[in-house]
């Protein structure tokens, strides 16, 4: 009897580690993909696409790609409970507005500086988590404190200064990005990541297309489309892996691991766009690196679903998991 209890306990711990590893791998892959997004976005703007056109086209192509894949291979992932659908729609609209701010800022900033400013989003995630009455560990708070001077060095020590309007737009985008993570975290407790990705991207696409309709600036006929198509693929894959990370780790840990995208952006901006960082900016990047590596010492647990808080109304109805056995697949 004792050996049987030990066997079951060991199996539960192993499954927990597997989920944790899956979450870390997904979050880091999402960071790598998202880190290349501003470089593709900047390139698309440089060849003649307006910021609004970039957002509208990449999101619409990404959601169309996901729809085709799910219709062919995973139709069961279309199911979602009504309150969860509302949550995905709100998250998608929030992320859509954030994307408009993001690419409007990228048009005024260097790609590397823009992405580094965007890296404030874990602070906004912490803020939204506190409003949602979620707990944050001490080492997570330390990692957030470590990131603040790093971001200031990276952004404030550039050779050409920073466009303040662009900086404010990017901080607004970071706040909205953090909000959409916490909203979707509530939904992801009972819904697979592909389902959340689909409905969030659909709402996001509708939002940016409405915005594009008010300023339909088409690119020159000679403009190459490969930056936009590259961004569409990045949007599809990065959102899927992002929500897999949120599902298994929670919004806070996924956000902190997502800081790895800063390093990817800086590296690609230097070799592709010819942008450079000063010595002080590299010092700031080192602080971001340290915060990223401290994940090995942090207690990575998926935040418990609270029955109170700002987004408690997104809690799903009690549905037996046997009715929808695929809900915890991804």
Highest mean pLDDT among 115-124, 162-171, 211-220: 162-171
Candidate from 208-212, 277-281, 292-296, 319-323 with smallest mean pLDDT? 319-323
Find the mean pLDDT for residues 197-225. 85
What lies within 8 Å, CB to CB, of 97 at 6+ separation is 176, 207
Q: How far apart, in whole angstroms, are the C-alpha atoms of residue 98 and residue 179?
A: 10
Give the separation between CA 203 and CA 208, rounded to whole angstroms. Answer: 9
Residue 3 lies in a domain: no
Size of the chain in residues: 330
Q: Is residue 167 part of a domain?
A: yes
- How many structural domains comprise the chain? 1
Q: Whole-angstrom Cα distance, residue 204 to residue 142?
A: 33
- What confidence tens digit (pLDDT) does each residue in 260-315 have? 776 676 677 677 666 666 778 778 778 877 876 776 566 555 444 556 667 776 76
- pLDDT score at 7: 39
* Residue 270 falls inside a structural domain: yes
Least confident of 2-6, 161-165, 187-191: 2-6
What domain range includes position 266? 26-310
Q: Is 64 exposed, middle or buried (0-12, 13-18, 19+ CB in 10 A)?
A: middle
User: How confident is the model at residue 215, as a pLDDT?
Assistant: 74
| Domain contains 330 | no
CA dist 257 and 186 (Å) reads: 19
Q: What angle do CA 328, 259, 111 make, to 5 degrees?
A: 120
Question: Given its phi and psi angles, is residue 30 left (phi above 0), alpha (psi -120 to 50 degrees) or beta?
Answer: alpha
pLDDT of residue 329: 53
Mean pLDDT of the 109-133 span = 78
pLDDT in tens, 37-79: 777 887 888 888 887 888 888 888 988 988 888 888 878 888 8
Q: Which of 19-23, 152-156, 160-164, 295-299 has the lowest mean pLDDT?
A: 295-299
Q: Give the contacts of 123 (CB within 8 A, at least 6 positions apart).
A: 144, 147, 148, 178
Residue 44 domain-assigned (yes or no): yes
For residue 52, tell me if it sits in a domain: yes
**pLDDT tens digit sequence for 213-243:** 887 777 778 888 888 898 888 888 888 888 8
pLDDT in tens, 16-44: 556 677 777 788 888 888 777 777 887 88
Say if 41 falls within a structural domain.
Answer: yes
In a domain, 296, yes or no: yes
Which string of DSSP letters, residue by residue, matches 16-67?
HHHHHHHHHHHHHHHHHHHHHHHHHHHHHHHTT--HHHHHHHHHHHHHHHHH
Burial class (CB in 10 A: 0-12, 13-18, 19+), 198: buried
Give the lowest-confidence range in 84-88, 146-150, 270-274, 323-327: 323-327
Percent of the chain with pLDDT over 70: 75
């Amino acid at each position: 009897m004792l050996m049987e209890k030990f066997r079951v306990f060991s199996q539960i711990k192993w499954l927990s580690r597997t989920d944790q590893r899956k979450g870390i791998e997904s979050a880091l892959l999402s960071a790598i993909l998202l880190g290349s997004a501003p470089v593709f976005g900047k390139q698309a703007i440089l060849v003649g696409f307006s910021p609004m056109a970039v957002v509208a086209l990449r999101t619409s192509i990404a959601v169309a790609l996901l729809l085709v894949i799910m219709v062919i291979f995973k139709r069961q992932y279309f199911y979602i409970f009504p309150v969860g659908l509302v949550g995905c729609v709100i998250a998608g609209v929030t992320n859509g507005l954030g994307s408009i701010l993001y690419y409007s800022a990228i048009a005024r900033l260097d790609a590397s500086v823009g992405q580094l400013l965007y890296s404030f989003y874990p602070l906004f995630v912490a803020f939204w988590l506190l409003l949602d009455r979620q707990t944050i560990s001490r080492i997570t708070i330390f990692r957030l404190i470590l990131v603040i001077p790093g971001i200031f060095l990276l952004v404030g020590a550039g050779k050409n200064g920073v466009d303040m309007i662009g900086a404010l737009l990017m901080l607004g985008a970071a706040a909205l990005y953090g909000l959409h993570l916490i909203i979707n975290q509530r939904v992801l407790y009972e819904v697979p990541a592909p389902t959340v990705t689909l409905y969030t991207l659909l709402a996001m696409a509708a939002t940016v297309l409405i915005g594009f309709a008010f300023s339909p600036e088409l690119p020159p006929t000679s403009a190459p489309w490969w930056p936009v198509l590259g961004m569409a693929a990045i949007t599809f894959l990065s959102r899927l892996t992002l929500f897999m990370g949120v599902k298994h780790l929670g919004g806070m840990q996924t956000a902190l691991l997502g800081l790895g995208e800063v390093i990817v952006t800086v590296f690609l901006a230097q070799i592709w766009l010819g942008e450079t960082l000063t010595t002080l900016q590299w010092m700031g990047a080192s602080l971001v690196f340290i915060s990223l590596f401290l994940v090995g010492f942090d207690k990575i647990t998926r935040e418990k679903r609270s029955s109170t808080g700002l987004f408690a109304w997104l809690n799903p109805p009690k549905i037996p998991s046997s009715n929808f056995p695929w809900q915890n697949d991804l």
